[in-house]
Chains A and B, each alone.
Chain A
Amino acid sequence: KAGVTQTPRYLIKTRGQQVTLSCSPISGHRSVSWYQQTPGQGLQFLFEYFSETQRNKGNFPGRFSGRQFSNSRSEMNVSTLELGDSALYLCASSPRGDRYGYTFGSGTRLTVV
C-alpha cells in the first residue's frame, strides 16, 4: 500500500514568488492535513480538508491556502514568499480524520532565498 506522497521533495524559490506543493494521500483516505515544521516554531498546523471542504485552519496569514480535489489529492499554495516561509511542509492523511491518528508523508523542504 503506497504511503502519503509529497512532491516535490525539495524546492528553492525567491522572495516574492509563489509556490504550490502537492500531496497524494493513501488510497481511501479522505482527510488531509498540512503542517509546517521549522527549527524555531516546531510543528504547526496549517489546515485540514475532508471531502474537498476545509474543516479546520491554523493561525497562518492568508498567504497560505490550500485545496482538496475530488480524488482527495491536496495542494497548498504560498503566495508572496518570505524568507521565514523556509520550512519542511508535511502532509498527513487519515481515513476520516478520526481519533486513530494521521500518516505523514516525508515532506517538501522549501527554501526561500
Chain B
Amino acid sequence: GEDVEQSLFLSVREGDSSVINCTYTDSSSTYLYWYKQEPGAGLQLLTYIFSNMDMKQDQRLTVLLNKKDKHLSLRIADTQTGDSAIYFCAESDDFQKLVFGTGTRLLVSP
C-alpha cells in the first residue's frame, strides 16, 4: 500500500537553510506536493512537482525529486521565524486522493 514517511522534527537558526525530507513507497506516484500547516489553521499548498521533473524552484523553495529512490526534499532558503510550522509531504497517483506523510515540525530560532 501507499506509505509516506518524514522525519518528525527539524530545528534551524534564522537565516540558515532548512531541508525537509520525505520518502514514499508507491511507484505510481505521479504528483507530489508540499503543504504547510500553522497552528489552528488548515493546510497551505506550498509547491508541487510532477514525476517527470527532477527539480522545481519557487522563490525561496526548492524541491528535489529522486524518483529512483522515491525521495523528495523541500529546501527553504534563508529560513525565517515565520516559517515555523508543520510541513507535510503528499503523494497522489490520481490527483484526487492525497496520501500525506506524518509531517515534519520545523522550529526556527532567532
A: which residues have CB within 8 A of B?
A: 4, 31, 33, 35, 42-45, 48, 50, 55-56, 58, 90, 92, 97-107
Cβ of B110 within 8 Å of any chain A Cβ, yes or no, is no
Name A43's contact: one of B30, B48, B100 (CB within 8 Å): B100
Name A99's contact: one of B42, B50, B90, B99 (CB within 8 Å): B50
Cα–Cα distance between A43 and B37 once the two chains are bound (Å): 12
Cα–Cα distance between A35 and B103 once the two chains are bound (Å): 15
Contact yes or no, A100 B48, CB < 8 A: yes
Contact yes or no, A45 B98, CB < 8 A: yes
Number of interface residues of B (CB under 8 A): 24
10 closest Cβ contacts across the A-B interface? A104-B42, A43-B100, A104-B43, A101-B45, A106-B42, A48-B96, A56-B96, A99-B95, A97-B96, A45-B97
Contacts of B95 in A (CB 8 A): 97-99
Residues A33 and B44 in contact in the complex (CB < 8 Å), given A99-B31, A99-B50, A101-B33: no
B 31-59 to A, binary, CB cutoff 8 A, 1 in contact else 0: 10101000011111100101000000000
Cα–Cα distance between A56 and B88 once the two chains are bound (Å): 21
Q: 11 A-B pairs, CB-CB below 8 angstroms?
A: A31-B96, A44-B100, A97-B96, A99-B48, A100-B48, A101-B33, A104-B43, A104-B44, A105-B42, A106-B41, A106-B42
Contact yes or no, A102 B42, CB < 8 A: no
The interface centre, meaning the residue of B33, B35, B97 with most chain A CB atoms within 10 A of its CB, is: B97
Contacts of B98 in A (CB 8 A): 33, 35, 43, 45, 102
Cα–Cα distance between A45 and B50 once the two chains are bound (Å): 20
Contact yes or no, A4 B97, CB < 8 A: no
Cα–Cα distance between A92 and B43 once the two chains are bound (Å): 9
> Shortest distance in angstroms between B8's beta carbon and chain A's nearest beta carbon?
11
Contacts of A101 in B (CB 8 A): 33, 45, 48
Contacts of B88 in A (CB 8 A): 43
